[in-house]
Structure 1
Amino acid sequence: MTDATILDEEHEAQFGDYFALLKPRVMTLVVFTALVGMLVAPVTLHPFLGFCAILFIAVGGGAAGALNMWWDADIDAVMRRTSKRPIPSGRVTGRDALSIGLALSGFAVVMLGLATNWAAGGLLAFTIFFYAVVYSMWLKRSTPQNIVIGGAAGAFPPMIGWVAATGSVSLESVLMFALIFLWTPPHFWALALFMRSDYDDAGVPMLTVTHGRRTTRRHIFAYTLVLAAFAVWLGLTTAGGPIYLVTAIALNAWFIKGAWEIRGRDEEAAEADSYLVEKKFFRFSLLYLFLHFGALLTDAILRTAGVIA
C-alpha cells in the first residue's frame, strides 16, 4: 500500500500540517540557543547576516525534525504522546515528509555556509545527519543510551551560532553544548518515568524499560550533579557573567534538590500521587535551559552596554 493510499482523503494536508513536521516547539529552543551562542561570541556579525544565520539554523533544525518524523512514523502511531503527529494521523504522507526534510536540509546547509562560513554550514550538516541517522535510525531503537548519546543533536545549535560568528570552536561553545547535552538525559528520563507504557508499547529501549525505574532515578540524580558542575563552569568563562552565574547556582541547586527527591521515591508513593514529583521536575526542566540561556543573553546585553566588564 502506498503513502498516497494511506493518506486520509478526508484530511487534505494544510500548511499547518507541513509546518508541524518541523517540530516548531523544538525549533523554538534551537533558535533561541543558537541566537544566544551567536550573540555571546566575541565577534559581532552584521545584523542581516546574523538574521540569515538564525533563519537557516532554524530551517536545518526543522528539516531534521521532518526526517525524524518520516523514520519514526511507526513508533509515533503507537505512542499516545505522538499519535496525533501529521504522518500517523494521516494528514501528511511519509514520502512528502522525506522530500521536505531532504530539500530543507540541503537548502539550510548551503545558505548558512554562504551567509557565514563553511565551518558553520558543515556543523549544521553534521547535526542534521546525527539526529536523522545516528539517533533516529540507530540509537533510538537499539540502546538505552539513545537519549544520552542522541542528546548531542539538540546540543549543537549554540555551538553553530558561535561558529557562525567566529568561524571556530572554543571552550565557551563546548560548554554551551555540554549544558544541553547533559540536561537532555534527566529531562527525558523524568518524562519516561511517568510515560513508560508508551515506550513499552512502541518497543523503544528507554532506560525505564531496559533497567527499570529505580535505576533511572539514580541516573537522573547522577547526571544532574554533573550537569550542575558544567553549568557553573560556563559562568566562569568569558561567555558568562554575574547574572548567569547567580542564575546557574540557583537553578542547579533547585534541580539537584528535585533529582534527589526523585531518587528517593519508591514506586508505590509515585503511583499514589500520579508521579507528581516527577512531573514537577519535568516541567521545571522545560524552563531550565531557557533560563540559563536567557541569563547568558542578559549578561551579553549588559556587557555590550558597558554595564559589566
Structure 2
Amino acid sequence: MTTLTFAHAHSQVHWPAHWRDFVALTKPRVMTLVVFTGLCGLLAAPGAIHPVLAFTAILSIALGAGAAAALNQWYEADIDARMKRTANRPLPAGRMDRQSALHFGVGLSFFSVLLLGMATNWFAAAVLAVSILFYVLVYTIWLKPRTPQNIVIGGAAGAFPPVIGWAAVTGDVSALPVALFMLIFFWTPPHFWALALFVRPDYAAAGIPMLPVVSGEVATRRQIWLYTAIMAVAALAPVLLNLTGLVYGTVALIGTAVFAVLAFQVYRNHELDPARMRPERRLFKYSILYLFILFGAIVADRWMLA
C-alpha cells in the first residue's frame, strides 16, 4: 500500500490506501439492487446456463456497476466534499487520491466486460459496456451538472441489469427484458426525487441542479405523483402484454397500489423542513423494497409457468 496525500481544509493529511476504501468506491449498498435485478433477468430468461457461468455473469454485472460507481466518485470528488452525506467517501475524506480511483474504475470496467464476454456472450458484454459508459458519460458528466431532468434520462443506466442478465442466457433481447427495463426507468424518478427532497440542502450546497433545487418542493412532489402513474402502467405492462401470469400480476397490482398511496401522501405533503419529511422518507424506503418484490415475483411467475 502506498501513502496518499490529500489537501483538505488547507492542510496535508497522509492516509494509507486501504482495501475497504476501494470497496466503498463501488457503492456496495446500491449494488445490491443492481445485482438482484440482474439475477432476476438471468433466472427469468428461457433456456439453461451452467451455474458457474451464471455466477460469473452476475459477478460481471456487480463489477461493472462498481466500476461505474468508482468513476462517478472520481469525477464528483469535489462535489462530494461539499455534501454532508457524501463528505466521508474515500476521495473527499482524503483516504485516496483521484488517480487511484480513476485507474481502479477504468480497470474494473474493462475486466467486467471482458469477463462477461468470455463467460457468456459478447452481446451481453456489449450491453454491460453501454450501461457503464451511459452512467459515466451521459449521466455523471453530461446530464447531472446541467439539467434537473438528469435523473429521468440518466435513470436508464440503472435499468440495464435485467437486460444484461437475460442476454447472458439467451444472447439476445426480447419483450420481457425490455418491459423490465422500462419498469426501472420509470421507477427511478419517484424513487430518487423522494430522496432528493429531504437531502435538498446538500444538492443546493453542491450546486447540483436537482429538481427540488431548481423547481422547488411543490413541483417535485407533483412530478413524483406523475411518474408514479407512468410507472404503474410500466409495472402492469408485462401482464397486459401476456408476458407474465397471475402471480406477478397480483403482486404488481398490490405493490403498485401501496406505492401510489405513499406517492400521493408525498404529493399532499407541504412540509419544507427536510428533517420532518416523513412521507418522503417512507416512499424512498418502500420504493427499494417494491423493486425487490416485483422482480422476485417475475422469477416466481416465470418458474411456475415453465
State the partner residue of 1:21: 25
Matched, 1:84 2:123: no
Deviation, 1:116, is 1.0
* Structure 2 SS opposite 1:141: coil
Q: 2:221 maps to what in 1?
A: 217
Of the candidates 59, 64, 67, which is equivalent to residue 60 of structure 1? 64
Work out whether 1:117 is the aligned partner of 2:121.
Answer: yes
Amino acid at match of 1:226: I
Deviation (angstroms), 1:177? 0.6
TM-aligned CA deviation for residue 52 of structure 1: 1.0
Residue of structure 2 in register with 1:37 after alignment: 41
Task: Give the residue type in structure 2 aligned to 1:59.
Answer: L
Q: Do the aligned residues in 1 keep the contact of 2:239 with 2:245 (CA within 8 Å)?
A: yes
Q: Using the alignment, how far apart are the partners of 2:143 and 2:275 within structure 1?
A: 33
Query: Contact 2:187–2:228 at 8 Å: present in 1 too?
Result: yes
**Which residue number in structure 2 is paired with residue 203 of structure 1?**
207
1:278 pairs, out of 261, 277, 280, with 280
Q: 2:293 — aligned with what?
A: 291
Identify the residue that residue 168 of structure 1 maps to in structure 2: 172
Q: Is 2:260 the counterpart of 1:256?
A: yes
Tell me the C-alpha RMSD between the 2 structures: 1.8
CA distance in 1, matches of 2:55, 2:243: 21
Q: In the alignment, residue 169 of structure 1 is paired with which amino acid? A: V
Q: Is the 8 A contact 1:172 1:237 kept in 2?
A: no
Q: Does 1:265 align with 2:269?
A: yes
CA–CA separation in structure 2 for the residues paired with 1:58 and 1:239: 27
Q: Which stretch of the first structure deviates more once superposed, 22-31 or 142-151?
A: 22-31
Asked whether the 8 Å contact 1:172–1:238 carries over to 2, the reply is: no
Q: 2:181 aligns with which of 170, 177, 183?
A: 177
One-letter code of the match for 1:293?
A: F
3-state SS of paired residue (2:88): coil
Given that 2:4 and 2:16 are in contact with CA atoms closer than 8 Å, whether structure 1 keeps it comes out as no
Code of the residue aligned with 1:291 in structure 2: it is I
State the number of aligned residues. Answer: 300
State which drifts further: 199-208 or 21-30: 21-30
User: Partners in 1 of 2:238 and 2:79 — Cα distance?
Assistant: 37
**Does the 8 A contact of 2:4 with 2:96 survive in 1?**
no
Shift of 1:5: 2.9
Identity %: 51
Q: In structure 1, list runs of 5 or more residues that go unmatched.
A: none
**Contact 2:159–2:184, Cα closer than 8 Å, also in 1:** yes
Aligned to 1:74: 78
3-state SS of 1:5 partner:
strand
Shift of 1:243: 2.1
Q: Distance in 2 between matches of 1:132 and 1:273?
A: 31
3-state secondary structure, aligned to 1:87: coil
Once the two structures are TM-superposed, the CA of residue 221 in structure 1 deviates from its matched residue by 0.3
Give the match for residue 55 of structure 2: 51
Counterpart position of 1:6: 6
Q: Scaled by the length of structure 2, what TM-score is found? A: 0.93
- Residue by residue, what CA displacement relative to the aligned partner does 1:208-262 show, whole Å, maximum 9, x if unpaired? 1111111111100000001011101123456533222111101111111111121
Report if aligned partners of 1:40, 1:239 keep a CA contact under 8 Å in 2: no
Asked if the contact 2:5/2:14 (under 8 Å) is kept, the reply is: no
Name the SS for the 2:16 alignment partner.
coil
Q: Name the aligned partner's letter for residue 273 of structure 2.
A: E
TM-score for the superposition, normalised by structure 1: 0.92
Whether the aligned pair in 1 keeps the contact of 2:77 and 2:92 (CA below 8 Å) is yes
* Cα pair distance change 1:85/1:178, threshold 3 Å: same
